[in-house]
Each structure stands twice: as structure tokens, then as C-alpha cells.
Amino acid sequence: MAGGEQKKAGGEQKKAGGGGKKKEVKKETGLGLSYTKEGNFGEWYSEVVVNAEMIEYYDISGCYILRPWAIAIWENMQTFFDAEIKKMKVKNCYFPLFVSPGVLEKEKDHIEGFAPEVAWVTKSGKSDLEVPIAIRPTSETVMYPYYSKWIRGHRDLPLKLNQWCNVVRWEFSNPTPFIRSREFLWQEGHTAFATKEEADTEVLQILELYRRIYEEFLAIPVIKGRKSEMEKFAGGLYTTSVEAFIPNTGRGIQGATSHCLGQNFAKMFEIDFENEKGEKAKVWQNSWAYSTRTIGVMVMVHGDDKGLVLPPKVAAVQVIVIPVPYKDADTQGIFDACAATVATLSEAGIRAEADLRDNYSPGWKYSDWEMKGVPLRIEIGPRDLANNQVRAVRRDNGAKTDISRVFLVEQVKGMLDKIHENLFEVAKQKRDASIQVAKTWDEFVTALGQKKMILAPWCDEEEVEKDVKARTKGEMGAAKSLCTPFEQPELPEGTLCFASGKPAVKWTYWGRSY
């Protein structure tokens, strides 16, 4: 697993900040990575997120500083998602970080699911608090006592709220930047409806927005599906998710979740309303969230041995312009052309910057911006100046093209679109090559050993899933169900469950996961 800072938080700070002499030199020259993606994925990932200036390690294990390069990606996704949910009449709000124990423990299944990860405030100064206060791991129990207060009649419905906030889950297993951290940023939507039909419709509307974030912004293919009873949200009716896969580690990763909570929380928190017939009824509720984990998935899927590879739609800088002056060249003319290029692109809505630092060579700058994953590099040298052109170099495949400055904007826009398409296609090919159909237990175990995402016929029994987990436990971690895809292949009559030999009722994806 990437990171491993549980064991060596201090050691990692050294690694991140340059402890020994060798590291110091490396930081100064800014040359490359010590590890390859194929050779040591965990160390490669830890190095990329630090060297690309996404995060800095903090002195509390499992907590990370998110630097501007990472926050810009989060903001670009946020801008899209926030606008989309507002079209659905969802309103933003903010609830406190703290939860009283009485409220937190009201929904038994829910708190049992989160209990090991709940952090508690027990002191104020040197005095013990009379009643300890929990820090939210999620906000159902924070918000729903007030839904009960605000919802009285059918005219108060639907109630659709969202908050952009942080949550704390005191994880103890393998903290990893973005993927598994003790504090993370997310949005969490909490909605209440008069009917189950309305709730069911919204679950899928939100799930589609999550698919769009992954596929249209992060260029990552995902599978939409439903979680098993064992893997669903604690206390909910059912959970849907978008699932990604990391071929290098052979692990699935839950990308985002949209839950139908049913009426369970409405019963616990007495969220009743008077319907149009004047009868008392319970509301139907949903909750849905995606987090900064999205950024980690992007790094893992697209990153290479030169560093980060950013999809254009989320990159803080889409185009970096670098002057390449030779001896006796018209340096000022080249610098002016760089500034003009940035201005032209910026006016067209493209996020462009020039790197005019005079204490680094062009070659050093190329490596630096490749490490940071900028989608397109534009170089301007004396020959380009003479020919009224620029040279464009793609980060995803290294392809070089000379572009006339007359057609600069349309050419660059076209290239950015092609970069996104290529990143998505390459990721999809790698993901698809990792999917294996297994119809028997032996086929399943073989595929699991080959780091595959396994599509298998299943009887949909919880005991069988528990048994699969128990039988696959090992150093790499147990296999579990990832999701049952909405797009189901045909299930021929008489097909048996891969694990129990009982009649199969559905196809489900299985594998190890983050």
C-alpha cells in the first residue's frame, strides 16, 4: 500500500523535505523519481504526490497538507458538481463539526459501522469534558434531528441540502494520501422526499454526475452498480456506487457513493410529515458523497515514471509556455512571444502560464512541468519566433507538433480534447484487459492471483460473501464484492454461483480493494 507512514511518519517527513545529503541534491536538481510505477507502486505514488507538489506530509500520521496544485483540481470538480446540483434545486448549507454521543448513537447499525473510526474530544484545556463530543465521520446524525424540526407537512418537501466540508475518520490501516486519510474534504448531500420513487430517481441522477466527474473530468472509466447488503452504507436501504480499478495493484476502488437510506433514519429521528390526505407519514431519504479520494485515483490511473499526468479539464495549468533562447538569440523577442501566447490562450479561456525563471535551463523546466503533469507544453525558440510558430509537446504521449500562431487557440483546444480522449481510452483499455470472467472457485482464485477484477455469477447470499472473504484472506487482503453492475450480461438458465454452487441470480464484480 502506498505511503506506509503509520510506521515512519518522521522518516517520511525527511523523505518529503530532503533529509540526507543525497535527497538534498535530488531536490535541488529536480531530476525524476527514485521508483517506477511498475517496480514499486506504493513508493512511486508517495513520491509523485510530494514531488508534484500535491501534498506535504504533516506531523500527525494520516493527515496531509493539500497544496494549491491539488486544491485547484478539487475546485475544478467542485465548480462542475455544485452547478449541476443547483440545477436539481439542491441548496448548500453548513452544519457543525461536533456531534453529541446521544445523537450519534441513535441509529445502531449506522454507528456500529463507524464506531472504530470516530474521534472524540474529551478535554477542554486541562479539564475533562463532562460529556465527550464526537467529530463527524459523516453527518446523517448531525443533520437529521433538524430535518425532524423543519419538516412538518408535504409542502416542506422535498428538502435537499448539501455541504462542502471536512470529515474525520481515525483510520489505523495504511493511511495513504488522498486514498485513505484521517481527515478529508468532501461534499455530502442529504435529501428528504415524500415518496420512494422520488428518492430512487435522485439516487441515479447523482450517480450519473459522479460518473461524469470520473469520465468527463478525470478521464477514468468507472462501472456503475449496486453494493451488496454486506458492503452497503451502514443503516441505509441500498447503496449505489461508481467503481474504478487500478491495474498496477489489482485493486478496485470505490469512486463515489449514492445511497437510498429508505425510512430507517426517519424512524430513528422522527422525521414525519402530514401528506396531502392529512395522514402522518415518514419521509424517504438519500445521502450521497464524493471526496478528495478522486484525486488519488487520478494520480494512480494516469501517472507515469516522469510523474503526474493531469487531464486537461482539472489541471490548474493546462498549457505551460517555456522560452528556449540560444546564444545570441533575441531573448527579449522570445520572452515577448511567450507573454503574447499566454495572453492569447488566457483570453480564450485556456489556463496558461509562462515559466520565465532565469535560474533554470529549458531542459530542467521541461522535467519540472512534466513532474507536475501539465497537459501541454509550448516551447518558443529563435526558429519559432522567425516562423511565427510555436512547438507544442503533449504530456500524455510526448508527441511534438509545430503550430502557426495564427491558429494557436483552435489547435491548442483541439489538442487538449485529444489528450483527454487518449487518457480515457488508454485507461479503459488497461482496465478492460484486467477484467476476467470466472465461473468456478478455481478460476476465481487464479484470476485473483493475477490481480484481476473478476466478474462472476453469484447467488447473492451474505453468508457466501463472508465465506469468500474468509477463504481469500492473506497478505494482500481478502477479496470482496465491488458492485453488481447495472449493465448485466446475460445469465444463462442453470448458471451456478462461483463460490457456493447454488443457482446464480446475478453477475457481480469481485476483487481486492482499497
Same domain, residue pair 82 and 229: yes
Neighbours of 432 (CB within 10 A): 12
What number is the average pLDDT over the span 487-498? 97
Same domain, residue pair 375 and 339: yes
Q: What pLDDT, on a 0 to 100 scale, did the predictor assign at position 173?
A: 77
Instruction: In whole angstroms, give the CA distance from residue 424 to residue 433.
Output: 14
Q: What pLDDT, on a 0 to 100 scale, did the predictor assign at position 511?
A: 98
Nearest to 154 by CA among 285, 264, 287, 279: 279
Q: What pLDDT, on a 0 to 100 scale, did the predictor assign at position 330?
A: 87
Same domain, residue pair 84 and 203: yes
Find the CATH number of the domain harbouring 256.
3.30.930.10
Would you say 457 and 506 are in contact if contact means Cβ atoms under 8 Å apart? Answer: yes
Q: Would the CA dihedral through 467, 232, 220, 49 be positive or negative?
A: negative
Instruction: In whole angstroms, give the CA distance from residue 174 to residue 345.
Output: 42
For the chain, give me the number of helices (H) and strands (E)? 16, 23
Please count the structural domains in the chain.
Answer: 3
Same domain, residue pair 208 and 263: yes
What number is the average pLDDT over the span 171-175? 80
Would you say 513 and 452 are in contact if contact means Cβ atoms under 8 Å apart? Answer: no
Whether the per-residue pLDDT at 251 is higher than 50: the answer is: yes
| Strand 506-513, strand 238-246: pairing | unpaired
Q: What pLDDT, on a 0 to 100 scale, did the predictor assign at position 171?
A: 78
Whether the per-residue pLDDT at 2 is higher than 60: the answer is: no
Describe the crossing of helices 408-433 and 293-302 by its angle, rounded to 10 degrees.
Answer: 90
| Strand 159-168, strand 91-92: pairing | parallel
The answer as to whether 162 is a domain residue is yes
Order of strands across the sheet that contains 127-135 = 98-99, 127-135, 119-124
Residue 483: give the domain boundaries. 435-512
| Average of per-residue pLDDT values in the chain | 92
What residues have CB less than 8 Å from 248, skipping those under 6 apart? 37, 38, 41, 300
Residue ending a domain, among 387, 419, 451, is 419
Find the CATH number of the domain harbouring 354.
3.40.50.800
Q: What pLDDT, on a 0 to 100 scale, did the predictor assign at position 112?
A: 79
Same domain, residue pair 225 and 252: yes
Q: What pLDDT, on a 0 to 100 scale, did the predictor assign at position 350?
A: 98
What residues have CB less than 8 Å from 77, skipping those under 6 apart? 213, 217, 218, 294, 314
Q: Write out pLDDT tens, residues 422-473.
A: 999 999 999 999 999 999 999 999 999 999 999 999 999 999 999 999 999 9
Describe the crossing of helices 41-51 and 9-17 by its angle, rounded to 10 degrees.
Answer: 50
Same domain, residue pair 399 and 335: yes
Instruction: In whole angstroms, give the CA distance from residue 504 to residue 498.
Output: 8
Model confidence band, residue 15 (pLDDT cutoffs 50, 70, 90): very low
Whether the per-residue pLDDT at 18 is higher than 60: the answer is: no
Whether the per-residue pLDDT at 29 is higher than 60: the answer is: no
The answer as to whether 161 is a domain residue is yes
> pTM of the full predicted structure?
0.92
The answer as to whether 113 is a domain residue is no
Residue ending a domain, among 353, 388, 419, is 419
Q: Write out pLDDT tens, residues 283-335.
A: 999 999 999 999 999 999 999 999 999 999 999 999 999 999 987 788 999 99
Q: Give the SS3 label for residue 364.
A: helix
Same domain, residue pair 259 and 334: no
The answer as to whether 32 is a domain residue is no
Cell of 393: 509537446
Neighbours of 468 (CB within 10 A): 23
The answer as to whether 205 is a domain residue is yes
Model confidence band, residue 17 (pLDDT cutoffs 50, 70, 90): very low
The answer as to whether 1 is a domain residue is no
For residues 96, 98, 99 and 101, what is the CA-based torsion angle, rounded to 10 degrees? Answer: -160
Same domain, residue pair 232 and 273: yes
Nearest to 464 by CA among 444, 447, 448, 449: 444
Same domain, residue pair 288 and 343: no
Q: What pLDDT, on a 0 to 100 scale, did the predictor assign at position 513?
A: 96
The answer as to whether 28 is a domain residue is no
Q: What pLDDT, on a 0 to 100 scale, did the predictor assign at position 1?
A: 41
Model confidence band, residue 475 (pLDDT cutoffs 50, 70, 90): confident
Locus of grid cell 463527524: 136
Same domain, residue pair 375 and 506: no
Instruction: In whole angstroms, give the CA distance from residue 457 to residue 447.
Output: 14
Same domain, residue pair 233 and 352: no
Model confidence band, residue 174 (pLDDT cutoffs 50, 70, 90): confident
Instruction: In whole angstroms, give the CA distance from residue 211 to residue 256.
Output: 9
Find the CATH number of the domain harbouring 479.
3.30.110.30
Share of the chain above pLDDT 70, in %: 94
Q: What pLDDT, on a 0 to 100 scale, did the predictor assign at position 24?
A: 32
DSSP string, 216-251: IIS----EEEE--TTTSPTT-SEEEEEEEEETTTTE
Instruction: In whole angstroms, give the CA distance from residue 439 to residue 509.
Output: 12
Model confidence band, residue 31 (pLDDT cutoffs 50, 70, 90): low
Q: What pLDDT, on a 0 to 100 scale, did the predictor assign at position 111?
A: 73
Would you say 284 and 271 are in contact if contact means Cβ atoms under 8 Å apart? Answer: no
CA atoms within 13 A on the CB side of 116: 4
Q: What pLDDT, on a 0 to 100 scale, did the predictor assign at position 305?
A: 97
Model confidence band, residue 178 (pLDDT cutoffs 50, 70, 90): very high
Same domain, residue pair 213 and 277: yes
What number is the average pLDDT over the span 180-204? 97
The answer as to whether 9 is a domain residue is no
Return phi, psi of residue 22, to 5°.
-60, -45
Instruction: In whole angstroms, give the CA distance from residue 382 to residue 403.
Output: 15
